[in-house]
């Protein structure tokens, strides 16, 4: 052994104490030895000094080795204990080992090789036990820390859950408020629009040019405000999950043409060309015509709004027999890359400032995106600032509903 050890020898026989020291030194053990002759002296030394190992005689003037082992362990000393005895039996050895003795050796078998081997094994076992205890303590500390972290995570989870419930409640109240307000405002607006239409009819009396212009302004602004309220109402229904699709079989080109015909006047006001190209092998689809019309209206109206001059194209093609693509392309102001990631967010528009030129709620594209998703489709956009934008809506020819409609029905 290359390390320097401190060893306590407890024996009332000086010759035996010297024999232990000579054997260990002869075996090459480097150690500082301390000798005592009874239990009381051993305990006194152990309360003051620390030792790497203890050799003790089983029979001492003031007690036996078993009692001393118990006292040593009682004061908290954790070092290898090797009992040496001139006589003893197997039961004594068993009792000593149970009490905490590292090894048990008859004095008649003492030799440098045996003592060195017993000491080396006892030290190795003791260090292994200490390492195991340290590892176990670390494991327990980690386990307690893990339990604490799990408690903290559980508290955070519960807090997040409570916050989510609060946010859901706020969202529900907001949707209900928007729906209620939109509904309540639509009634007087419809009356205003209706009376304006009546005043504009020639049979209701002649109006001066100025009066006609004023009534026309009332009518136009009322329609605009009604459109905005309808957008808010639709958005609140979508958020609340109360907007259901009502699919039916219909001719898609007919819906495209009639929708664009309604929007033609808006394009003509800005002197924009509005073109349509439809390439379909099978013209029938199974979808919600009202909401599909809303999608097309939103995209084309948006193109007209943000296009000052040039052209707007609407193209309808079959990506495959089961997929329809509707593309709306314009030569408008385009969309910057920074806005592209937020283009489908609610209440979002390209010009967000107070001095923005283009009106509206900023809900059109958000509603369009939600409706397309509800139809199990997807919407994509390509745009370049100053060059224009292209919106592509890809939807299944037949949307999924509980009642199954066969493809043969669609193509008849």
Tell whether the model's pLDDT for residue 357 goes beyond 70. Answer: no
DSSP E strands in 196-322: the ranges are 248-251, 273-279, 284-287, 311-320
Check residues 409 and 48 and name the one with the higher pLDDT. Answer: 48
Residue with the larger pLDDT of the pair 238 and 358: 238
Report strand pairing: 284-287 vs 273-279.
unpaired
Provide CB contacts within 8 A for 147, sequence distance 6+: none
Long-range contacts of 316-319 (CB under 8 A, 24+ apart): 316/252, 316/253, 316/256, 316/276, 316/277, 316/278, 316/279, 316/280, 317/279, 317/280, 318/279, 318/280, 318/281, 318/282, 319/394
Q: What is the mean pLDDT of residues 177-192?
A: 75
Between 167 and 275, name the one with better pLDDT: 275
| C-alpha span between 389 and 330 (Å, rounded) | 6
Decide if 263 contacts 300 (C-beta within 8 A). Answer: yes
Query: How do beta strands 273-279 and 311-320 pair?
Result: parallel
CB atoms closer than 10 angstroms to residue 138: 10
187 pLDDT higher than 80: no
> What pLDDT band is residue 315 in, cutting at 50, 70 and 90?
very high
Cα 346–Cα 352–Cα 353 angle in degrees, nearest 5:
150
Instruction: With CA atoms as reference, report the closest residue to 114 among 188, 7, 19, 214.
Output: 19
What pLDDT does 67 receive? 83
Q: Report strand pairing: 81-85 vs 103-106.
A: parallel
Q: List all residues 6 or more positions away from 143 whose beta carbon is below 8 Å from its beta carbon.
A: none
Check pLDDT > 50 for residue 405: no
> What pLDDT, on a 0 to 100 scale, did the predictor assign at position 109?
83
| More confidently predicted of 212 and 34 | 34
Radius of gyration (C-alpha) of the chain in whole angstroms: 47
Q: How many beta carbons lie within 10 A of that of residue 295, not counting itself? A: 26
For residue 77 the two structure tokens come to: 């000393």
Residue 353 confidence class, pLDDT cut points 50, 70, 90? very low
What is the average per-residue pLDDT within 193-199? 79
Average pLDDT, integer, range 138-153: 92
Question: Which pLDDT value is given to residue 7?
Answer: 93
Query: What pLDDT score was predicted for residue 1?
Result: 61
> Is the pLDDT confidence value at 404 over 70?
no
Query: Would you give the DSSP letter of residue 328?
Result: E
Phi, psi of 272 (to 5 degrees): -105, 145
Over residues 390-408, mean pLDDT: 75
- CB 219, CB 182: distance < 8 Å: no
Kindly indicate the confidence band of residue 250, based on its pLDDT and cuts at 50, 70 and 90.
very high
pLDDT more than 70, % of the chain:
88
What pLDDT shows up at residue 363? 78
Check whether 370 has a pLDDT greater than 80: yes
pLDDT of residue 389: 93
Over residues 24-80, the pLDDT tens digits come to: 999 999 999 999 999 999 999 998 999 999 999 888 898 887 888 888 888 888 889
> Is pLDDT above 90 for 89?
no
Query: For residue 315, which of 398, 368, 393, 410 has the smallest C-alpha distance?
Result: 393
């Amino acid at each position: 052994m290359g390390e320097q050890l401190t060893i306590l020898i407890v024996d009332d026989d000086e010759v035996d104490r010297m024999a232990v020291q000579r054997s260990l030194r002869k075996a090459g053990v480097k150690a500082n030895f301390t000798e005592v002759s009874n239990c009381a002296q051993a305990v006194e030394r152990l309360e003051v000094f620390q030792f790497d190992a203890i050799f003790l005689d089983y029979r001492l003037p003031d007690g036996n080795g078993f009692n001393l082992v118990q006292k040593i362990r009682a004061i908290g000393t954790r070092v290898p204990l090797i009992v040496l005895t001139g006589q003893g039996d197997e039961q004594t050895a068993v009792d000593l080992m149970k009490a905490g003795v590292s090894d048990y050796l008859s004095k008649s078998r003492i030799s440098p090789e045996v003592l060195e081997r017993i000491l080396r094994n006892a030290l190795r076992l003791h260090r292994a036990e200490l390492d195991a205890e340290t590892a176990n303590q670390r494991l327990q500390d980690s386990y307690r820390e893990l339990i604490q972290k799990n408690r903290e995570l559980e508290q955070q989870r519960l807090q997040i859950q409570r916050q989510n419930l609060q946010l859901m409640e706020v969202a529900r109240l907001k949707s209900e408020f928007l729906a209620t307000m939109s509904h309540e405002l639509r009634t007087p607006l419809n009356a205003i629009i209706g009376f304006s239409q009546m005043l504009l009819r020639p049979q209701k009396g002649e109006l001066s040019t100025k009066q006609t212009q004023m009534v026309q302004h009332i009518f136009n602004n009322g329609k605009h405000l009604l459109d905005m309220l309808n957008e808010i109402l639709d958005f609140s229904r979508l958020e609340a999950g109360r907007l259901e699709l009502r699919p039916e079989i219909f001719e898609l080109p007919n819906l495209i043409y009639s929708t664009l015909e309604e929007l033609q006047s808006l394009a003509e006001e800005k002197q924009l060309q509005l073109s349509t190209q439809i390439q379909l092998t099978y013209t029938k689809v199974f979808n919600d015509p009202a909401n599909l019309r809303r999608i097309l209206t939103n995209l084309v109206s948006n193109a007209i709004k943000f296009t000052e001059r040039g052209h707007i194209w609407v193209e309808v093609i079959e990506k495959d027999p089961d997929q329809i693509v509707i593309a709306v392309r314009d030569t408008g102001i385009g969309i910057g890359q920074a806005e592209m990631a937020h283009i489908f967010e609610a209440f979002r528009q390209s010009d967000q400032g107070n001095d923005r030129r283009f009106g509206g709620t900023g809900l059109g594209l958000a509603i369009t995106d939600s409706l397309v998703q509800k139809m199990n489709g997807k919407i994509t956009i390509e745009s370049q600032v100053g060059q224009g934008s292209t919106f592509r809506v890809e939807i299944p020819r037949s949307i999924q509903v509980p009642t199954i409609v066969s493809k043969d029905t669609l193509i008849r």
